[in-house]
Amino acid sequence: MNKPKNIVLIVCAAAIILFMNSCKCKEPAAASIQRNYTSEGFTKAIVIKYEVDGCVWMIQSENGEKFEPSNLPEEFRKDQLPVWLKYQFQKAGVSNCMAGKMVLISEIAKR
């Protein structure tokens, strides 16, 4: 038996294991990047449950302007949910409640 050779192999294996366990892995780059929603043209708003005249969900901007979205995703249908909103006004179409401007949501994200 070659004891020095076995000892070297054991020490090398232990060093590799210790090195791999001590490595502090970084988060993926995409997860660590913060978006600047304001500079990207988003509007700060709040989703509101608006149960008047056939309405259910409305979005109210920071300045009080109300929007009636035609495509609010299910996961954003929570009263008083703060969101970032990008939208386009809908010129055609009939509003259920006429309480705000009809919009088509281009992009929405939780704040």
Q: Is residue 6 part of a domain?
A: no
Q: Is residue 43 part of a domain?
A: yes
Which tens digits make up the pLDDT trace of 22-81? 655 555 555 557 889 999 999 999 999 988 777 889 999 999 999 999 899 999 999 999
- CA dist 29 and 86 (Å) reads 24
Closest alpha carbon to 50 in 99, 110, 101 = 99
Its domain, for residue 49, covers 32-110
On whether the pTM is more than 0.75, the answer is no
Q: How many CB atoms lie within 10 A of CB 78?
A: 14
On whether the CB atoms of residues 86 and 107 are closer than 8 A, the answer is yes
Phi, psi (rounded to 5 degrees) for 77: -90, 70
SS (H, E, C) 72-93: CCHHHCCCCEEEEEEEEECCCC
Residue 38 tokens read as: 């304001």
Q: Is residue 57 part of a domain?
A: yes
**Which CATH number characterizes residue 83's domain?**
2.40.50.500
Q: Is residue 22 part of a domain?
A: no
Q: Report the number of distinct structural domains present in the chain.
A: 1
**Which of the pair, 24 or 85, is modelled with greater confidence?**
85
Q: Is residue 50 part of a domain?
A: yes
